[in-house]
Amino acid sequence: MLTQSVPVERALRQSSRLSAGQVAMFNAVHTVDRRGNEMNDHDAYSAPLLYNLDHSTHSLDRFSQTFPQVWELLNHCIGEVRVIQNIWPAHNTGSTSVQLKCRALWFTMQRYLEQAIALIISRDLNSGSALLRLALEVARDIRYIDSDADKWKVWDTRNNTKQDWSRYTNSFKFDDTTDLGRNAKEIYKQCSTLGVHGHDTNRYFHERTGDVHELDSSLMRVEVADKGVLALTRVWVTVFFISHSLVYSAFQHLRWEDEIYDRFHRALIRAYDVEKLIAALPSS
């Protein structure tokens, strides 16, 4: 179980070294598009969607080259889960409709996790943290439903009326009686602070690029520092470990044959390896 404290909250308590007036643009990095052409600020305004896509691609490439071992292990984690999700139906042909619906939720949870790490690596820590909270919510709900048709009905009708919503929120909670449930609740709160209610996690990890904004010399260009990306990657690893552990505990009564069992545990071990590797990096 990953329960080590991630040094993010300490950073959030510190005042930013950059005043609001000095912060000009987030993610002001040298960006090259997929055709090898340099993209400038004009592209950010004339073709913003393409600019954002190319910036994300550039950020992922940059991370893979700067931290190749972390990159490789993250891909192992995600890849193992994808394989498990796709071979699972062949091993559980007699699954109930509720189990199949929970499996669909599992895909949603995994998609949140994959999008979250892509955003974090792209230095959008706020959005990545918000998606991590969503992933934990889905994992919590899968664990609570646990193949129970009545519980699924509560989940499926939760948005119909205020009473339905109250019934859902009063029932679907993290299980404080277990270590896994308590750890899940704690990291859920942290992700809420960082992403959903924080909105300024990026700013606390800003560093100057040294460039002055061409339209206003009083403004400095900044970007999220590598230490911020690594710190939130450690949060991601913890959420990955806990959320998939919750799903596994919900599905453990199904037919987990050796191949699936081994792959699941390899994915969790890889997550633990990422945590150890990042903790040992001087830039973290």
pLDDT digit string, tens, across residues 45-69: 677 788 778 878 888 999 999 999 9
Q: Within a domain: residue 28?
A: yes
Q: Within a domain: residue 54?
A: yes
CA pair distance 152, 102, nearest whole angstrom: 9
Q: Name the pLDDT band for 44 (thresholds 50, 70, 90).
A: low
Mean pLDDT check: name the lowest of 1-10, 81-90, 111-120, 186-195: 1-10
Quote the pLDDT of residue 253: 63
Residue range 29-52: mean pLDDT, rounded: 58
Among 106, 143, 99, residue whose Cα is nearest residue 250: 143
N-term to C-term CA, the chain: 21
Quote the pLDDT of residue 93: 58
Q: Within a domain: residue 3?
A: no
Residue range 74-100: mean pLDDT, rounded: 79
Q: Within a domain: residue 203?
A: yes
Q: Within a domain: residue 4?
A: no
CA pair distance 44, 25, nearest whole angstrom: 11
Q: Within a domain: residue 121?
A: yes
**What is the sign of the dihedral through the CA atoms of 114, 120, 123 and 126?**
positive
Q: Name the pLDDT band for 272 (thresholds 50, 70, 90).
A: confident
Whether the predicted pLDDT of 3 surpasses 80:
no
Residue range 169-197: mean pLDDT, rounded: 87
Ramachandran class of 36: left when φ > 0, alpha when ψ lies in -120 to 50, beta otherwise: left
Query: pLDDT over 90 for what percent of the chain?
Result: 34
Higher pLDDT, 122 or 284: 122
Whether the predicted pLDDT of 278 surpasses 80:
yes
Quote the pLDDT of residue 219: 66
Structural tokens at position 238: 């913890």
SS3 32: strand
Q: Within a domain: residue 2?
A: no
Distance of CA 24 to the CA centre of its chain: 26
Residue 237: phi, psi to the nearest 5? Answer: -60, -45
Q: Within a domain: residue 133?
A: yes
Whether the predicted pLDDT of 166 surpasses 60:
yes
The whole model's pTM is what? 0.79
Quote the pLDDT of residue 11: 37
Domains identified in the chain, total number: 1
Partners of residue 208 on adjacent β-strands:
222
Distances in Å between the alpha carbon of 6 and those of 18, 98, 174? 23, 36, 21
Whether the predicted pLDDT of 230 surpasses 50:
yes
Residue 212: phi, psi to the nearest 5? Answer: -95, 140
Range of the domain at 226: 9-280
Residue range 12-21: mean pLDDT, rounded: 37
